[in-house]
Structure 1
Amino acid sequence: MVVTPALTVVPNSPSLANDLRYSAGSNRLQNQDELDRIIGEWTRQQDQHEAMRLLQSQRIPAGAVLTNQQLLEDQHFEARGFFEEITHPDVGTYRDIGMPWKLSDTPVHARLPAPGLGEHNDNVLGEILGLTADELCSLEERDVIGNVPLNTRE
């Protein structure tokens, strides 16, 4: 982390830019816990989007960290057409994240739903990696691979 005068937007830290403890990378590394504490105290008191905008206004790279629910409700992602409706044979139709990039001449969309647990074990482990049927059975017997979650077995 580079402490620049721009970081003085963090309350109670105007002296950070001139503090010798943070004047060079090696110094910042030695004092990282204190620097993290100062910045952490400030960020915990901020709305993540407001903090992001404030830091970015000072040319400090920053982004809001979103919960899954916040991600699904984010106006920017919605406006970008980031979400897609996916139909899965086991769970039905649901809204999911799409591709993070847009190509003007080649639209990109999710073609298939996520595979089921272990759905491609035989293909990947057997056909591609060359494990024998006996080796696959041994892995399954030892619960190394399978298609049923371990916490649902009796």
Structure 2
Amino acid sequence: MMEDRIFSEDKAHEGNIMKNIIEQIEAEQMTRTIPQFRAGDTVLIKVKVKEGTRERLQSFEGIVIAKRNRGLNSAFTVRKMSHGEGVERVFQTYSPIIDDIVVKRRGDVRRAKLYYLRSRTGNAAKVKEKIEPSKRKQGKKGPMAAAKSKA
């Protein structure tokens, strides 16, 4: 009976050591800095494409419709319209084929997953832009302020 308990404790300790090693390896591979973005944002991803012996960068610009945060296994889905057809591509966040991620504009959405955009066409598939308070003009007076100053 005593041997069984010792054996199970050793296995548990072994599992913790393996977990720590895996976490350490994942942390080493997640060195690249990724810009903050979320569902609804329009992003431009520069992907390394290998054609024979040549390597070039290919751009893919679209709306982020889903983001999956799982450490090294993080991924995000980008959707764009190409010649009237919807094209979606899933990117691994820390993949070596991704050269650069640029956030073009911030979207104002209330959902974490925007799968409903798949069924929408035309203007209904557009996402409203989020206007941040820091970007608004602070010194500019509105029409009401101008009317009060005249009176």
> What TM-score comes out, normalization by structure 1 length?
0.20
Where relative contact order (Cα < 8 A, 6+ residues apart) is larger, the structure is 2
* Structure whose residues are more often strand by fraction: 2
* Structure whose residues are more often helix by fraction: 1
> What TM-score comes out, normalization by structure 2 length?
0.21
